[in-house]
Structure 1
C-alpha cells in the first residue's frame, strides 16, 4: 500500500480512538410540501441481519412540467446534509437542485443516516459505516424505482455523490448494480494526507458545538462529530473563490458525521470497488481541492491530468469522463464557479441518462 494511503488510514483510525434482511416495500410518508418539492421520511433498515429500522429524510423535487423519467439521487458528504445540494443562500447560483430541475430532472435529496432529519442511531450500540450507508442508499433506489416515494416510479436513477457521499456511491453502484449512471464529486483515488490530517484536527464532539447545544442530553447524538466553529473555510474551500455569506450559511447549517464513517472512509479508495461500476461515470473536482490535489496527491491542473490518474480505477464500461472546476476547492457546489459545474452535470447527464 502506498505510504500516503497508510497515513490516511492512520489518521482516520485516530478519529475512532478519540471519539471513543432487505426491507420489504413500504410507502414513504410525506412530511411537508412546497410548490416544487415534497419531503418524505422513508423507512429503511440499517442491515440485512438484524433489520434495524430507521428513516431517511429526503426531498423530492420535480421540474415545473412534472416528474421526469430519471431521478437524480443526491448523497451529501461528511458533516453535510441535504442543504448542500439545495443551498438556501442565492439558490440561483448555489443550488444543484435548482439547476438540475430546471434542466428537466427530478431530484431526491437526502440526509444520510445520522444527519439532519434522518434517524440518529446511538453510536454506542450501532456502527454507521460506509457499507451501512451504501445499503441504505440501495433501499432508497429501490423505493424510487417502485414508486414508494411520491407515488411515482422512476425508470432510471442517476446517483450523485459528494466527498464521503461519493465513497458511498462507489460502494452502492459497484455492489448492487442498480443505477444507470454515477456522478462522483470531491473524490479521487489519491489523497493529500497532510490536508486530510488538518481536517481531522478540526473535528470534535457535536454536542460541544453551539449548533447542537440543544442535543447535549440526547444519547442519540453522543459520539457524533462535527467541525469546530470557524474551520469550514480552511477545511473545504478555496476561500478566494467563495462568497463570505456562503461560508456563514454553511457554518450555520453544518451537520454531523459518525466515527464509523470516517474510520471506513479510506478502504474503498484502495480496495478496487470503483472498478466494479459498470455504468457511465463522471468525476468532477475543484482544481483547488486541497484534500485530493497537490504534489503528494493528484495533479488537478486540468481534466486531462485527472483523467490520466483516475482511469486505472474505472472499467471501460464506466466510459469515464472528468471535469476540473477552476477557482473551486473541495465543496464545488459552494464556490462562485458552481454554475459552471452544474452546466457540466446537466450536459453529461443529458448525454448518458436523459431526463
Structure 2
C-alpha cells in the first residue's frame, strides 16, 4: 500500500510545527493511483550538452581532476515544452553504476522507455549520461568520483534553471529554462541525487529508486568488492556483476528476456573513481539524507537482489527534514524498476506523486 509521511506545519490551535502524520492515499490496495492524462502529446527528443567542471564541492572525501568537460544527454518531452523558452518542470534522470542513459530511455523497447512514457503524460525529462558513461566519456576513470558526480549534477540543475545549456545540433537555438527541477535516481544514481539534494538544497523533489543507505545485500557487497579489486589492480574502468548472466540476475527479476539481454549488452564499465568512492558514499549517506528538505518518493522492488528487505523502513524514516516522504514497494520487481514487467505500475506511482507537487 502506498503511504505518505508529510511533515506538516500546524499553527492552528497552538500546535507546534513538525508534527508527523501517517496519511494513506485513497487508491485501493494493490492498485496504481490515477495519473494525469496528456493523450495526443507530440513527443520529441533533442540531444543537449552541458558544460561542467569535474570538481567535488561536497563533504564526500574523494578527489577529481577539476577539469572542464561536456556532458551529453537528451531532452525528452512534449514538443511545446522542449522547443520553448521555459518548461514548468524538468525531471533529471540519474543512472546507476554500470548502466547509462539507456536505462531510462531504452528506445528499442518502447513499452519500458521511461522518459518517453513520462513525456506522453506531459512530463519533460533530461536523460543524462554522467561523466565516464555513454556519450560523456572520460579517458581516465580515476579522474572523477561520486562526490564530483553529485557536484556536476548540481551544475546541471543550475544550468537547467537558467536555460544555459545547448541543443547539440542547433547551439544557436535557446533551450528551455526549468521552473522546477525534480531528480530521479536509480540505485547509486539515487545516492548521487541524495548527496546533491542534501548538499545544495536546489531541487523541488527527489525520486529514489532501489537504494538504501545502509541496506545493501551480501550479493551487492560482493559485486562491489569484486569491482573495486579490479580497480585496485590498476584498471581505470571496471565491470560490475561478473558475467552477463550475473549482471542480469542483479539488475532484473521480471523484465522481458529481450530487455535483459539488451541491458546486459549495453552494460558500461564503471569509472574506477566512482567504484572506489562508493564505500565513502555509503558511510556518509545517512548524514546527507537527514539534510534533504525536498519531498521524496521512495520506490523499492519486492525482489531487488541489491537491497535487503529489512532496510526499507529504515530508509523511509531517514528523511526527517523532508517536507513529505512517500514510499511504495513494487511487487515482483527487481532493482531496475523502470525496465521490469511492472514498469507501468512504477511510472504510475511516479506520475501520481509528481502531480501532487503541482
Query: Any conservation in 2 of the 1:156–1:179 contact (CA below 8 Å)?
Result: yes
Per the alignment, residue 346 of structure 1 pairs with 351
Q: Report how many aligned residue pairs link the two structures.
A: 292
Between Structure 1 and Structure 2, the one with more helix by share is: 1
**Aligned-pair distance for 1:51?**
4.0
1:61 maps to 2:80: no
Cα distance between partner residues in 2 of 1:269 and 1:314: 15
Per the alignment, residue 37 of structure 1 pairs with 45
TM-score when scaled to structure 1? 0.76
Cα distance between partner residues in 2 of 1:111 and 1:286: 24
Pick from 156, 178, 183: which aligns with 1:140?
Answer: 156
**Aligned-pair distance for 1:206?**
9.8
Per the alignment, residue 54 of structure 2 pairs with 46
Structure 1: gaps spanning 5 or more residues: 1-33, 208-220, 299-305
Cα distance between partner residues in 1 of 2:269 and 2:203: 27
Per the alignment, residue 174 of structure 1 pairs with 198
Per the alignment, residue 95 of structure 2 pairs with 76
**Aligned-pair distance for 1:179?**
0.5
**Aligned-pair distance for 1:119?**
3.1
Cα distance between partner residues in 1 of 2:210 and 2:104: 13
Q: CA-atom RMSD, angstroms? A: 2.5
Query: Any conservation in 1 of the 2:43–2:116 contact (CA below 8 Å)?
Result: no
- Secondary structure at 2:239's aligned position in 1? strand
Query: Any conservation in 1 of the 2:292–2:321 contact (CA below 8 Å)?
Result: no
Per the alignment, residue 21 of structure 1 pairs with none
TM-score when scaled to structure 2? 0.75
Structure 2: gaps spanning 5 or more residues: 1-41, 58-64, 168-174
**1:268-283 aligned within 5 A:** 268-271=281-284, 272-283=287-298
Cα distance between partner residues in 1 of 2:210 and 2:230: 23
**Aligned-pair distance for 1:269?**
3.5
1:288 maps to 2:272: no
1:165 maps to 2:183: no
Deviations 1:17-65, CA, capped at 9 Å, x for gaps: xxxxxxxxxxxxxxxxx97111122211001797411111110112144
- Secondary structure at 2:322's aligned position in 1? helix
Deviations 1:200-249, CA, capped at 9 Å, x for gaps: 36649999xxxxxxxxxxxxx951012444222222122xx221101111
Per the alignment, residue 332 of structure 1 pairs with 337
